[in-house]
Amino acid sequence: MSIVAEFARQLHEKESPDSLPPLEPAVYPGKTTKLFDIQAVIFDIYGTLVHYWKHSFADGDLKSASLLEAFGKTIDRFAMRDTLLKMNTEHDPETTLKDLYHGLIALNHQKAIKKGVLFPEVKIEEVWQVIVLMLRRNGYHKPGNIAGEDSDLAKCLAFFYNFHALGRGLFPDVVDALQKLKSMNIKLGIVSNAQFYSPLDLTLFIRDQSKDRYDDYLELFSPDLCVFSFEEGMSKPNQRLFRKLYNALYELHILPQQTVFVGNDLAADIQAAQQAGMNAALFTGNKHSTFMHELCDRVIPDITFDTWADFPSLVSFHESGGNGGI
C-alpha cells in the first residue's frame, strides 16, 4: 500500500463522522419509467454516488467559514502555522493558505483556457506541491510522522483538506444497487469531475458499505470505462470526456444509446450526456446537491430516481418486450 493510501485509510478509520446529514429528496420529471436494452451504466461521483453535502454549504458565509476551518485543521495537522505567519504577517494563516490554494487553481485554469481548453481541470496534488515548495523556501519542515517525499506530502495535504472540507460517505444502498446491476450483466463505469483521491475515497466507502465484501472500487467498475477529469485536464461537460468513454464502449460493442449516464446535475451530467447520445438518469436523492441551474423544465432526463434501492429496477439489459422485458 502506498504512503498516501495508508494515510487515507488511517484517517478514514479514525476520524470519519459516524453519520451524514439526513436526506431531503428533490422532485423532477423524467421522460419514461424504465429503459431497455441497456448494456452499460456510467456514473458521476459527487452528489450521485457520494453524499458530500454539508448543511453549511447552503449559505455562502457559512460555507466559507466551514472551508476556512478545514484549512485551519490542515495547517495544524501539518505544522504549517508558523511558516504561513512568516510568509504573510498581514493575514491569519488560514486566509493565507486559502488565498494561495484558490489563486493557484485560478492561475492553472487561466493558462488552460488560453490554450483553448473548455472547462479545464487541475491536478490538485500539483497545486499542493507548489504550496509545499513555497513553504520550504520559508523554512518549513514537515512533521516527523509524515513519511515519504514532498510529492507524498502534497497528496496527503490534498486528501486531508478534502477529508475535512466535504461530507463523506456513499448514499444508502449504492453498493447493493451496483452489485445488482453487475448481476444483470451490465457494465459499470465512471465519468466524473474528480481528483486522485476520488478513487481512494470510493474504495474506502465501498469497503464500509459492503462490510468488506469488496476491497477495491474496481471490483465493481470496469477500469476501461472510468474517465476522471484530473487525468484528462478537463472537466464535464467537456464532450472530450464522453468521447474517450465512447472509444472504450465501442471496444465492448456497446453503443451510446445502450448506455445510461447517471448524475445529479442537469448541465454537467444530464444535458451533456444527452448531447453525447446517451440516455440520462437524474438522481434526486438530496435536493441540496441536485443542481438544476437555469435548465429547469428545459432539460428532461430519461428517468429520475431518489433512492438507490430503486434504480436497478428502472433499467433492463433486455430489449423491450423481449426475454425479461416488462
Mean local confidence (pLDDT), 273-297: 96
Question: Grid cell 483521491 — which residue?
Answer: 197
First to last CA, the chain: 46
Percentage of residues in the chain with pLDDT exceeding 90? 91
CB 226 within 8 A of CB 190: yes
Predicted local confidence at residue 290, as pLDDT: 97
Q: With a cut of 50, say whether residue 323 has pLDDT above it.
A: no
CB 216 within 8 A of CB 203: yes
* pLDDT-based confidence at residue 81 (cuts at 50, 70, 90): very high
Q: With a cut of 70, say whether residue 321 has pLDDT above it.
A: no
Q: Which of 276, 286, 243, 282 is nearest to 262 (CA)?
A: 282
* pLDDT-based confidence at residue 26 (cuts at 50, 70, 90): very high
Q: With a cut of 50, say whether residue 324 has pLDDT above it.
A: no
Mean local confidence (pLDDT), 277-286: 98
Helix (H, G, I), strand (E, B) or coil at 238: coil
Predicted local confidence at residue 325, as pLDDT: 39
Q: What digits encode the pLDDT tens for the residues 91-101? A: 999 999 999 99
Mean local confidence (pLDDT), 134-151: 90
Predicted local confidence at residue 16, as pLDDT: 86
Give the whole-angstrom CA distance, residue 23 versus residue 160: 25
Predicted local confidence at residue 46, as pLDDT: 98
Q: What digits encode the pLDDT tens for the residues 191-210? A: 999 999 999 999 999 999 99
Give the whole-angstrom CA distance, residue 155 versus residue 207: 22
Domains and CATH numbers, the chain: 3-53+167-314 (3.40.50.1000), 57-165 (no CATH)
Q: What digits encode the pLDDT tens for the residues 289-313? A: 999 999 999 999 999 999 999 999 9
CB 273 within 8 A of CB 303: no
